[in-house]
Amino acid sequence: MTLRRCLVLATVLAGPDGPSTAVLGQNLVAEGETLFRARCAACHSLEPGQSRIGPALAGLAGRTAGIVEGARYSSALRDSGLVWNAETLEAFLANPREAVPGTPNR
Ligand code: HEC
């Protein structure tokens, strides 16, 4: 896993307050936020209840895929049975359509 993807994962899995600066250090936390803003925030929010083109990502760690109330999902993702953690998220971000055949291209 590249450092950049690792930082995106840390940012997304940590939720609205972000990853611990005691663990990652201020610079890497800031870099993760920048990467999230550049690559994900057009479609996703880290705040609860704020689904955009993609579902809100707050509370993602340990959550079953496809269950955010009011978000629009493909049936492929809704029926995937995935539970989000560093491993499943890494595989999904690396190749969404291989991890979840039938999820929209993006
Ligand atoms: C162009 C818009 C777009 C971008 C950019 C985008 N996503 Fe998504 N994302 C979506 C859509 C749409 C879905 C729903 C897919 C489905 O239902 O098959 C989704 C689904 C997800 C899910 C599953 C959520 C759930 O509740 O099961 C995760 C996790 C996710 N995206 C993470 C990311 C991350 C992290 C990034 C940045 C690296 C990112 N996405 C970038 C549109 C986007």
Residue 41 pLDDT > 70, yes or no? yes
Instruction: Provide the mean pLDDT of the chain.
Output: 94
pLDDT band for 106, please (50, 70, 90 cuts): low
Most ligand 1 atoms within 8 A of CB, residue of 46, 95, 106 to mutate: 106
Distances (CA, A) of 88 to 49, 60, 101: 22, 11, 14
Residue 44 pLDDT > 70, yes or no? yes
What value, to the nearest 5°, has the Cα angle with vertex 100 and ends 35 and 82?
85
Most ligand 1 atoms within 8 A of CB, residue of 2, 34, 37, 40 to mutate: 40
pLDDT tens-digit map of 26-36 = 999 999 999 99
Pocket of ligand 1 (CB under 6 A): 8, 12, 39-40, 42-44, 53-55, 57, 60, 65-66, 68, 73-74, 76-77, 84, 89, 93, 103-104, 106
Token pair belonging to 38:
């550049």
CA 105, CA 89: separation in Å to the nearest integer?
16
Task: Report the separation in Å between the CA atom of 98 and the middle of ligand 1, taken as the mean of its atom positions.
Answer: 14
Contact by Cβ (8 Å): 95, 106: no
